[in-house]
């Protein structure tokens, strides 16, 4: 994990991240708060994720490799979906929920909390972004300005008052990696449930699809130093699949050269026609 700003004897205070970036931190924490509710004995069936529609824009949400999607249109999956959706609103829109398939099979025989699962969220009430690359760069700047770690804000403290299960330990997102398609951050948190406290490691992926801000949140049990690796691999793989399923139109230089050549031919043709019309008759 990366923690920027280490090793310096003195540094000036870092500027605060942007307001829109800080609003993304609350959705990540809200998902952690929902984990204890999964102890309810609700079965989840294997299903394919349907495309999500956000403000009239359709987003393809592929199912992560090794995971199955909860089917929101059939019982008893619908009850679990509605419970999770209610906990995310009004801060977030719940777009998809995935669980490792073999864990679902074991859960059917002995209901218990999901340990390896993922949720895709879209923050509510934020305007469209101009491009994925621009939004990812803004998120990355938020981490850079806070030296790689984004801590609690006022909204998070209000969330603690409403959701005691968040616990009393520090909550912060720590930068893992970034590229042109997304920013990955991690958080480890102790969650209090009916079976007692347990530690959860999460990897939150920030990206944008069809002008819509998205966070894909992958969770797994914190079992030791290697616990982060499978969660990180799942998040990285899903980001690649999500981008492949929702490509952004890119400017093509080949089309630009073709257009320029056609325009030049049109200008030359017009000039020759004009000269021939201007040439005096013999």
pLDDT tens, the chain, 282 aa long: 333 333 333 344 444 455 555 555 555 555 544 544 443 333 333 345 678 999 889 999 999 999 988 777 777 677 778 988 998 888 899 999 898 998 877 766 666 778 899 999 999 888 999 999 999 999 999 888 888 787 755 445 544 444 444 445 557 789 999 999 999 999 988 877 667 788 899 999 999 999 999 999 999 999 998 999 999 999 999 999 999 999 876 544 344 556 666 666 666 666 666 666 666 655
Looking at the structure, tell me whether residues 211 and 258 fall in a common domain: no
Q: Is the pTM of this model over 0.85?
A: no
Residue 196 lies in a domain: yes
Q: 184 and 278 share a domain?
A: no
Q: H/E element holding 118?
A: strand 117-123
- Domain for residue 3, yes or no? no
Bridge partners (DSSP) listed for residue 69: 98
Domain that holds residue 268: 254-282
Domain count, the chain: 2
Same domain, 271 and 208: no
Instruction: Report d(CA 110, CA 104) in Å as an integer.
Output: 10
The pLDDT value recorded for residue 273 is: 62
Does residue 222 lie in a domain region?
yes
Based on the domain organization, do 99 and 79 belong to the same domain?
A: yes
241 and 275 fall within a common domain? no
Whether residue 12 lies inside any domain: the answer is no
Task: Look at phi and psi of residue 269 and say left if phi exceeds 0, alpha if psi is from -120 to 50, else beta.
Answer: alpha
pLDDT at 46: 39
Instruction: Examine the domain organization and report whether 38 and 60 are in the same domain.
Output: yes
CA angle 137, 143, 146 (to 5 degrees): 140
Report the DSSP beta bridge partners of residue 96: 120
Please say whether the beta carbons of 176 and 184 come within 8 A: yes
Quick check: is 155 in a domain? yes
Q: Are 163 and 282 within one domain?
A: no
In this structure, what token pair is assigned to residue 142?
A: 């938020």
């Amino acid at each position: 994990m990366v923690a920027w700003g280490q090793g310096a004897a003195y540094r000036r205070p870092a500027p605060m991240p942007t307001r829109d970036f800080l609003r993304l931190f609350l959705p990540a924490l809200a998902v952690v708060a929902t984990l204890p509710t999964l102890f309810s004995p609700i079965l989840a069936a294997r299903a394919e994720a349907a495309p999500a529609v956000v403000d009239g824009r359709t987003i393809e949400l592929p199912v992560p490799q090794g995971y199955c999607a909860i089917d929101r249109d059939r019982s008893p999956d619908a009850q679990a979906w509605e419970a999770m959706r209610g906990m995310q609103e009004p801060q977030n829109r719940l777009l998809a929920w995935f669980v490792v398939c073999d864990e679902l099979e074991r859960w059917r025989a002995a209901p218990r909390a999901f340990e390896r699962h993922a949720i895709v969220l879209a923050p509510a009430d934020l305007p469209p972004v101009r491009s994925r690359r621009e939004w990812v760069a803004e998120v990355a700047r938020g981490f850079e300005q806070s030296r790689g770690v984004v801590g609690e804000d006022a909204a998070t403290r209000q969330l603690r008052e409403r959701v005691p299960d968040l616990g009393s330990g520090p909550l912060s997102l720590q930068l893992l990696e970034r590229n042109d398609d997304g920013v990955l951050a991690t958080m480890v948190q102790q969650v209090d449930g009916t079976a007692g406290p347990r530690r959860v490691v999460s990897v939150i992926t920030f990206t944008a699809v069809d002008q819509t801000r998205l966070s894909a949140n992958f969770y797994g049990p914190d079992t030791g130093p290697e616990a982060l690796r499978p969660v990180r691999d799942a998040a990285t793989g899903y980001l690649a699949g999500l981008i492949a399923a929702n490509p952004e139109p890119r400017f093509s230089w080949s089309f630009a050269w073709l257009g320029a050549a056609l325009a030049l031919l049109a200008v030359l043709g017009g000039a020759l026609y004009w000269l021939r019309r201007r040439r005096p008759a013999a």
